Chains A and B, each alone.
Chain A
Amino acid sequence: MQWKPAATLALVPVAALIAPAVAHAKIYVSVEETQQRLFPGEKLTPNPVALTEAQREKMRDLSSVREPFRGERVWKTAKGDWFIVDEVVGKHEMVKYALAINADGTIKGIEIMEYVESYGYEVGEASWRNQFVGKTSDATLKLNKDIKNISGATLSCKHLTDGVKRLMVMYDLVLKGTK
């Protein structure tokens, strides 16, 4: 192969000039900080769950999320509220989020803990996250049905919505009624 620098240089031009100007935000929030956002001032105790294969299959069937759920990332408050950390597939990396469930089974809130993508940071805005508040495991929790999409963030909206559905199925199967 004959080396042709003139041709190879085609890769270089504008990209090199604009590279320094490109900088996108990231979201990184620790578990402790997220717990304080959702349950300010409250003490949370680790409450890991061990899921059976049948439970995992039901969660998968009802939510369509295939990524494995890690049962060790479950916490509980003294009042019986739940705090669960989970991850779903993002555009390039995993999106880490937390779901807070009140003792009565209604969603208290969700928080985005890690989001490192080119676009779609609107999923971290309260206006989108607040759509989940008050819903129970009986809710449809489906994008473009009872959860609105965000233009330009469809994949993140879909996967987070499906992720919340999965956790609510898990709540219904495992956590509900747990003392």
Chain B
Amino acid sequence: MSQMKKIACALALAAGVTTANAGEGSFGWIYTLDLQPKGTLEFEQRLQYNRGQAGGKYDFWQGRSELEYGVTENFQLAGYINYSYVNAYRNYPATSEFPNGETGGWGVSYASDSKYSKGRLEGGSIEAIYRITNPVIDPVGVGLYGEVTLGSMKDEVEARLLLQSNFLDDKLVLAANLVGAIEKVKFVQGETGPESMIDLLFGATYRVANNWTAGLEARYHNDFYGYKFQTHTQRAWFFGPNVHYATKDWWVTGAWRWQPTGGKCWAPNDGECSDGRVWDSHTRNEFIVKFGMPF
């Protein structure tokens, strides 16, 4: 693999689809400070679908099965397994090597102009959340999040600063996550690439009726080459709505994020950007469905 292609692939893998939710998740991608009560367990299942890049066809599905446990009132541990399926065909812009469009992006092991599909059991993650202040009783809820992922496609360490404020009898929730991550992306033949990421996620949900909330959320995404955020390689915005339904025995959340134009790449490979949008693991549209069941 050429150095240019390695970098391109590394960038393609940089963003990593790293999302889950603490406790009951009323947002699609934003963590809140709604943790599991001490001594309780919750099962959570999620499925994310990323669809559509520059052209051709690109579908990326990611599943996650998770167990969350409340260790103390303010400390929660979780573990999950990650699996995915990619189906791509000439989804990147044409290049001199592939004049009809290139098959590439997150989950595609090698560049070509052929159809590519593959399912993977990627690996597992563990996460911990510590709630410093509680938004139900404090003006601003603050929490710290840490996650370690080991997998066939990447190893990752991620940290988040979680912020949340509640209003109007706790019916209106404003939440933000400042996310930092470093990733060792794994290529074919054992090669690896150093990546890092800084994201800001923010949004609001409102309880529109008993059991129902609806809201909006956004992601400001930045990728870097190197473990220490050395070279800014990519920037993009995502916006979309969410809806959440919960009863005492289960809950479900659906959300959609759309990538507008205005994104930018500083990568040495044109395939990462076109029409003002960034690709690699990103798509025009992202959908997520999450299901939770407390014990």
Contact = CB atoms under 8 A, between A and B. Distances in A.
Whether both chains belong to one complex is answered with: yes
Interface of A: 1-2, 4, 6-8, 10-15, 18-19, 21-24, 26, 64-67, 88-89, 91-94, 116-120, 143-144, 149, 151-155, 158-159
Contacts of B295: 18, 21-22
Contact of A10 (B37, B83, B249, B250): B83
13 contacts: A7-B119, A10-B61, A10-B65, A15-B293, A19-B293, A21-B295, A26-B248, A66-B168, A88-B169, A89-B207, A91-B246, A119-B40, A143-B137
B247 interface: yes
B210 A159 contact: no
Nearest to B35: A152
**What are the nearest 4 A-B pairs in CB distance?**
A152-B37, A10-B63, A7-B61, A151-B73
B137 A159 contact: no
B137 A118 contact: no
Contacts, number: 108
Given A15-B291, A15-B293, A24-B249, A144 B137 contact: yes
Interface in B262-295: 289, 291, 293-295
Given A151-B73, A154-B137, A89 B170 contact: yes
A14 B134 contact: no
Interface string B42-68: 010101010100000101010111000
B65 A93 contact: no
Given A2-B87, A119-B294, A152-B38, A15 B171 contact: no
